[in-house]
Structures are given as structure tokens and as C-alpha cells.
Structure 1
Amino acid sequence: MTGPTLKGKTAVLTGAARGIGKAVADALIEKGANVVIGDLLDSQGEALVASYNTDGKRAAYIHADVTKYKEIVALFQLAEKEFGGVDIAILNAGIASNSNNLFTDLNDLQDERMIDVNVTSVIKCTKVATLHLARRGGGVIVSTASVAGFHSGGISLAPYTASKHAVVGYTRAFDILPSICNVRVNAVCPYWVETDLITSLHPDDDSTTATPFEKLVINSARTKIETVVEAFMTLIEDESRIGKLILDYYEKKKREFRKVDLYFV
């Protein structure tokens, strides 16, 4: 990525203290944007923002539980206060824990958590983000979905797969929104990316005690984080991208995609 193309723009990111969200925040900073990060990982989020602000105010951090409207509103209001408005919203917060839960205890809170974080938070954040972006004159929302939003991940990923199908369907519903308030809504759907989200699904090493699903995760190909970031930046910067998903993006990147991912598509 050469030269800033988003200078003066402000992006709000959820779940960006580490992993994919952090990588996208890094790219936005490199391209000249300001970033405001909401996360539950306060020490990591604050340290990241401090690293962005070494040469002047470029970023801000706030503790934010994205399942709660009060904290989502506070996140976007912080962006307004610090940088005057919001142009980009990256809805990246998500979990994969407790995916293999068909035969676990009947626990309301545990089984509702996946949908609350992966789906309900996207709906709530989109509503709040749209108000801020429209006030700014328009902008773009990009959510982190998954290839599991197109395909079954099997019984071990059933709730996660359901949540990502929901995000894909939700994204596709907004193709008319630009004509209403000049806000585009898109999603990126990566395959396995080596982040904390998937390392929680398998042991640190390929032990003989790993379950078949854990062995599948351990031995699956990985999407490069750089490829995922490129997808995000394309959906942010290319204004023709409306209601688009990574499947469309990678149809124009087939050679690279087929090496790593497209066999799953």
C-alpha cells in the first residue's frame, strides 16, 4: 500500500486490539486515516493506540462491549469528539469459542453468546454507524464474516456457521442503502487466518490427543493476513463495492485465492 489515500478520514473499528482488526487498523493508519478502536482487551488496545499516536493524535481507544447499545454509542461518540465524525466502520468483533456445543450442557448464556457477539452486535453497530456516516455525508461499513457464511463448517462449527450465514444475509440486504443515505455495507469472508480466534479451537501442537476437528484446523491451509487486509481495503476504497462479499472480490484474484482458499468455495 503506497501513499495515504484516506487522509482526513476517520474509521471506527470493533475488536481491533489484535488479530484481523489490528491488521486493518494498521493499514488504515498507513493510508492516512484516523482510527478509533473499541475492544474488551484494554491493555492491548491502549498500547496499540499509543503506538499510533507517537507523532501526533491519530487514534483513540475505549472499552466497548459491542453487544450493548450504550457502549456502541459511546464508541462512535468518541470518534465524533476526537476527530469530528466517522467515515468508515469496521465491524470485526467476533468469537468462535463454544462452537462444538451440540452435546454440551443446556446453558442459556453460553449458547446465546455466539449469536450476541457475531450477529446481534453487527446489527446494532450497523444501526449506530449508519446514523454517524449519514451525518458525515456517507461512508462505508465492512463486517468480518467468514467462508463459513457460504458453506457448512460441519457439526463442530454449527453455531459459528449459523452466525456467519446471518452476517452474509444481513450484508446482502443493504444494496439499496447508498441511494438512501450514501452508505455502503460490505463484508469480508476469509478462510482460516492464523489469529487468536482459531488458535482457541485447537491445541498448541499436533498432539495425539487432538480431536478430528482439531486436527482438521491444525492441518488446514491459512489465508495470509495481508490478503485479508487487501480485501478490507478494496471494499473500503472502491465505491462500486455495494453489498459485496469476498467471493466477488476473489473472483478477480483467482490465482492467489485458489492456492489458499478457493478449493473450499
Structure 2
Amino acid sequence: MDVSDLKGKTAVITGAARGLGLSFASALAQAKCNIAVLDIVDAAPEDLLRLGAQHEIRVEYYACDISSKSHAVSTITRVEQDFGRIDINVSAAGVVSDEPFVSTTEQNLERTMAINFNGSFFVAQACAASMIKRIESSQSKLPIDPVTNGGSIIFITSIATHIPSAAQNICAYIASKAAVKGLVKPLAVEMAPYGVRVNSISPGYMMTDMMRGLQERQPDLVRQFQKETLLGGGERIGDPENLLGPLVMICSSKAGGWVTGQDLLVDGGAGSWKHPVASEG
């Protein structure tokens, strides 16, 4: 798979201070992509900052509340000034709370939608505007061939938008991610003339730091997730590394330049069958 075109490109990644977002940043760094990370924490983690020297790329961290449009836009303006261009946007920031539907609070619903949907929308909107400005300033004739120019916008959604699990009550989260997935096709249509491809990746159950915490607090829940995964014999769930190949492929105009308007489900087959119920103990 040829992803050599990623070298020297700039990727804006939200939620990359930890978890899947940090894994995404690491994968793109290995492909020699410069990285601009937006996250809510005040200081960047050392694991993120080390990527710069490790792969001889530029890595910058921006503390940003993506649920605020003005903050998102001003931060993307800073990224554009610092890096000179924006080529890729990966929206990995997200929150989830386990609450039954009938008792889901207004606060939970508002926070979940504000970060998961509004935040993804605002950052992608600002990045798309930057990409269009760059393309128009080059005076290239539309439509743009995505293999030679353009950009890539990737939303991170969830297996739960395909097949919810009875093991959790996360309707607000699923609704927010379904709304994010609903952006993919219309934005792919709007952005196609500029050579900007828009896709989403729906991860299945992944062994992130958050999942390890769940495994300690709710081992039966993680056991159920393991049973639901078709690959691995019901004994494991996915590793973040399982997402990196699909992500890098979609980011690359050489490897994924003919892919737009799609949601890629990377779940070890969990969405393909009727799940058994894990026994307790």
C-alpha cells in the first residue's frame, strides 16, 4: 500500500491526548505526516510530544474546547498559520455515559451532543474551509483530482450505530455518533469538486485505556464484548492497531483516493451476527 503522499502533509486530530486519537496520531506520524492535536486537557502528554523527534516531524498541541465554534475556528486558524496548510482532519474526540433512556439527564444529552456531534462538525467545518481556501488560491480548475490535490476528512463513529449492544445503556452516545455518521454522505457530495474526500470509521470494541478501566470495574461487560467479537474466538476484542491500516489508507490520496462518502466498520465481525450472552463469573 503506497501512502508516501502523506509525507509532509498536515493532519488535525481531535481527542489525541490519549486512547484511539493518540494511536491515530502515532500512525500518521510514522507515515511522516505533521500532526496538530486538539484536546481539552491543558498540557500535551509526553507520548504525543515524543512523536516529533521520533519520526522527524512537527507535532503541536492546542488546548481547545471543540464544543465552542468560536474556539474551534480560532484554533484551526492558528493551526493554519503554524503549519501553512491543512490536508487531513480526523475527529476522534468523544464522551460516553451509561444511563438508561428513561433517566438520561438533560445535562448528559447536551454534553454528549456538544462534544461528539457539534465538536466534530465545528472542527471539520473549519478544516474544510481551510482546504477550500488553499485549493482556490492555487487557481486549480475544478473539479480537483483527489489523487493530486484536495484533502481528507474522517469522522470516528462507532459500531453501536450499526448494532447496539444490550450490555450498555448509551442511547445519547449512539444518537450523537449516528448524527456524525449522517454528515458523511452529504459532505462527500459538497466537497467532491475540491478533491476533499469525506469518510468515517466505525470502530468495534477496542482495548483502549478506557476499556481497561471498564475491565477492572465491570469485567462482565468486557466479557460480553469479547463474546460479541466474531474473530478471536470470543476471547478478545480489538487492539487500536487494528484501526491504523484503514485510517492511514483513507487519509492517503494514493491508497484511498477513490474512497469517499463511506463508513468503514472495523469490528472483528461483531456487527455481522446474533450475539451470545456471556455467562457471569
When the two structures are superposed, what TM-score results if normalisation uses the length of structure 2? 0.78
- Per-residue deviation, 1:219: 5.5
Aligned equivalent of 2:261: 243
Where 2:13 maps in the other structure, the secondary structure is strand
- Per-residue deviation, 1:107: 4.0
Aligned equivalent of 1:99: 98
Where 1:38 maps in the other structure, the secondary structure is strand
Where 2:187 maps in the other structure, the secondary structure is coil
Aligned equivalent of 2:21: 21
Give the residue type in structure 1 aligned to 2:31.
Answer: K
Aligned equivalent of 1:51: 50
- Per-residue deviation, 1:217: 4.2
Aligned equivalent of 2:133: 135
Give the residue type in structure 1 aligned to 2:75.
Answer: L
In 1: Cα distance, 2:259 partner to 2:66 partner:
25
Give the residue type in structure 2 aligned to 1:245.
Answer: D
Aligned equivalent of 1:226: 241
- Larger relative CO (CA 8 A, sep 6+): 1 or 2? 2
User: How many residues are aligned here?
Assistant: 249
Do 1:40 and 1:64's aligned partners in 2 also have CA atoms closer than 8 Å? yes
Do 1:65 and 1:71's aligned partners in 2 also have CA atoms closer than 8 Å? yes
1:81 equivalent to 2:81? Answer yes
- Per-residue deviation, 1:134: 1.3
Inter-CA distance 206–156: structure 2 relative to 1 (3 Å threshold):
closer
Give the residue type in structure 1 aligned to 2:127.
Answer: A
Inter-CA distance 41–48: structure 2 relative to 1 (3 Å threshold):
farther
Where 1:176 maps in the other structure, the secondary structure is helix
In 2: Cα distance, 1:242 partner to 1:185 partner:
5
In 2: Cα distance, 1:149 partner to 1:206 partner:
22
Inter-CA distance 175–50: structure 2 relative to 1 (3 Å threshold):
closer
When the two structures are superposed, what TM-score results if normalisation uses the length of structure 1? 0.82
Query: What aligned pairs does 1:1-265 form with structure 2 within 5 A after superposition?
Result: 4-43=4-43, 45-54=44-53, 58-96=58-96, 98-104=97-103, 107-137=105-135, 138-154=150-166, 156-199=169-212, 202-204=214-216, 213=221, 216-217=224-225, 220-221=228-229, 222-237=237-252, 238-247=256-265, 257-258=268-269, 262-263=272-273
Do 2:208 and 2:239's aligned partners in 1 also have CA atoms closer than 8 Å? no
Indicate the percent of aligned positions where both proteins have the same amino acid: 23
Per-residue deviation, residues 52-97 of structure 1 (Å, max 9, x unmatched): 233656110010111011221233223212210100001110011x
Provide structure 2 residue ranges, at least 5 long, that are not aligned to the other structure.
136-149, 230-236, 276-281
In 2: Cα distance, 1:141 partner to 1:264 partner:
32
Where 1:194 maps in the other structure, the secondary structure is coil
Give the residue type in structure 2 aligned to 1:11.
Answer: A
